[in-house]
Amino acid sequence: MSSVLPEHAPLHQFPVQNDCLHIGGMALTQLAQRIGTTPFYAYDRQQMTDRVVLLRQSLPPEIQLHYAMKANPMPAVVQHLASLVDGIDVASVGEMKVALDTPMPPASVSFAGPGKKEHELRCAIAAGVLLNVESSQELALIAQLGDSLGIRPQVAIRINPNFELKSSGMKMGGGATPFGVDAECMPGLLKQIDYMGLECIGFHIFSGSQNLNTAAIQEAHENTMQLAIRLAAYASFPIKLINIGGGFGIPYFPGERPLDLLAVGETLQRLIVRLKRHIPSTRIALELGRYFVGEAGVYVCRVLERKFSRGKTFLITDGGLHHNLAASGNFGQVIRKNYPVIIGNKVRGSEREVVSVVGPLCTPLDILADQLPMAKASVGDLVVILQSGAYGLTASPQAFLNHPLPIEVLV
């Protein structure tokens, strides 16, 4: 029966020795002892480094890599990535603080997001970070605050493109959105900027997230570059930066396959040659969150009880949707699908079974795996949810039912 169902993409990023998963070079069982309590998130430092290396090898050398830290804002993770990437994208003053605590120069930190408050803008201008401006009202406010602070703010205009990134897990551009300035309003806006006392250095064009369709990403890059070239003609200032967004997805669900990064790189190389003919001075940045960290992280919880009910087996664990909402299927999914879930200390196991893994919350939503084949587990075994390094803990309702918080480690 299961042979007709698509399977999870093979995940080889963590080695298995003696049937036990190794994270950060350490057996999961030992790591659990070291941490001393479950549940926990563990992020593998080397996996993140390898991912940056892979991107640099696959993409044109002109491409600068920015980390969109909302994917995983753990300070140790941000510190580690700050030493590897060219910029950090933040979306709040709280994130900005973490980014500024790293050695990343403030001018390489950019601040995006709708509804930035006066207080936040003032902090960002004083910090000297780049503001990705989301509306003409925000632009006017930034100009006024810069004037009162005696600092010339650096800005880039976020553009809501006139195309969308097809087959995205989350669309953030095209159509009507709260993000950015509609492309058709840009010529008018660019005319005013000259007189505003701002330093505008370029454009930010971000159109979607969690995309595994290589052709759709290539098409979006093509459209993005074209839009940037067309709008640059209206600017009377030099375009020094074009942030072409990101949206690179990772495989979570059965049937999904990784992106063809080399193909994306080849298209970008061709597009950059054309872009440089029109705008020779510009830097080009790609901003990615999930792609840097998503596959490098696991969420680990312990089996508290095996329960049989009307023909089904449940593993009741100490972890749940309050820590990993996305794995429960309640973070932007339309139809619930299983994340890749294994028994970390019995990866193959001597016996297999089909089970549902649930958390301790008193709600039927608290499902971590629904009728998934895995090694037969006992009480005390470690359930591992793979692909959990992005949009995990901070994207979950931690206070829901008031259970203890999990620990996060970078190994």
Ligand X SMILES: *Cc1c(COP(=O)(O)O)cnc(C)c1O
Binding site for ligand X (CB under 6 A): 68, 70-71, 89, 112, 206, 209-210, 246-247, 287-291, 390
Residue nearest to ligand X (CB): 289
Reduced to 3 states (helix: H, G, I; strand: E, B; else coil), residue 33 is helix
Question: Which DSSP state fits 8?
Answer: P
Cα separation of the two ends of the chain? 39
Measured from the CB of residue 141, what is the shortest distance to ligand X in angstroms? 19
Measured from the CB of residue 39, what is the shortest distance to ligand X in angstroms? 23
Q: Which one, 317 or 387, has the nearer CB to ligand X? A: 387
Q: Which one, 210 or 345, has the nearer CB to ligand X? A: 210
Measured from the CB of residue 204, what is the shortest distance to ligand X in angstroms? 7
Q: Which one, 31 or 288, has the nearer CB to ligand X? A: 288
With beta carbons less than 8 A apart as the criterion, state whether 21 and 13 touch.
no
Measured from the CB of residue 112, what is the shortest distance to ligand X in angstroms? 4
Q: Which one, 205 or 342, has the nearer CB to ligand X? A: 205
Q: What is the C-alpha separation between 264 and 240, in angstroms, rounded?
A: 23
Residue 312's CB is within 10 A of a number of other CB atoms, namely: 12
Q: What is the C-alpha separation between 178 and 167, in angstroms, rounded?
A: 20
Strand 382-385 to strand 352-358: parallel, antiparallel, or no bridges (unpaired)?
A: unpaired
Structure tokens at 101: 């605590």
Measured from the CB of residue 209, what is the shortest distance to ligand X in angstroms? 3
Q: Which one, 71 or 341, has the nearer CB to ligand X? A: 71
Measured from the CB of residue 247, what is the shortest distance to ligand X in angstroms? 6
Q: Which one, 287 or 295, has the nearer CB to ligand X? A: 287
Question: For residue 344, which of 5, 48, 40 has the smallest C-alpha distance?
Answer: 40
Structure tokens at 92: 């709040």
298 CB-near residues (< 8 Å, 6+ apart): 14, 21, 23, 41, 42, 344, 384, 385, 386, 388, 389
276 CB-near residues (< 8 Å, 6+ apart): 282
Measured from the CB of residue 274, what is the shortest distance to ligand X in angstroms? 24
Q: Which one, 291 or 339, has the nearer CB to ligand X? A: 291
Q: Which one, 153 or 247, has the nearer CB to ligand X? A: 247
- Going through 16-153 in order, the beta strands assigned E by DSSP cover 16-17, 20-23, 26-27, 40-43, 63-68, 87-90, 109-111, 130-133
Measured from the CB of residue 57, what is the shortest distance to ligand X in angstroms? 19
Q: What is the C-alpha separation between 28 and 262, in angstroms, rounded?
A: 33
Q: Which one, 171 or 322, has the nearer CB to ligand X? A: 171
Lookup result for tokens 């620990």: 407
Q: Which one, 219 or 353, has the nearer CB to ligand X? A: 219
111 CB-near residues (< 8 Å, 6+ apart): 89, 90, 91, 96, 120, 124, 129, 130, 131, 132
CB-count exposure of residue 188 (10 Å: 0-12, 13-18, 19+):
exposed
Q: Which one, 40 or 291, has the nearer CB to ligand X? A: 291
CB-count exposure of residue 37 (10 Å: 0-12, 13-18, 19+):
exposed
Q: What is the C-alpha separation between 227 and 116, in angstroms, rounded?
A: 25
